[in-house]
Chain A
């Protein structure tokens, strides 16, 4: 698998742009308690709670827009 979470991972600042491969990626923001959710559509947002994160990832209004 890809070395997810490593610097240069998909969707992480400095890493390649998200690809439309149907894969949701969630990175633990280094040095924090926050999670960065990256949708394959390109949308991303930070969360402190994985339940809220999944609610958003699966139903964000911008998806596919």
Chain B
């Protein structure tokens, strides 16, 4: 192995990344909205299961 490089490749933050606002963070814990998302996600899973098998 050669000498370790001097510059650190550790990225501490992505400056162009869209960081959520306080309101977005609150919505992520908002029970009624999360219930809707829960239902949506399960719907997508069901779609995948149905499309994934050729038949039964």
On whether the two chains bind one another, the answer is no
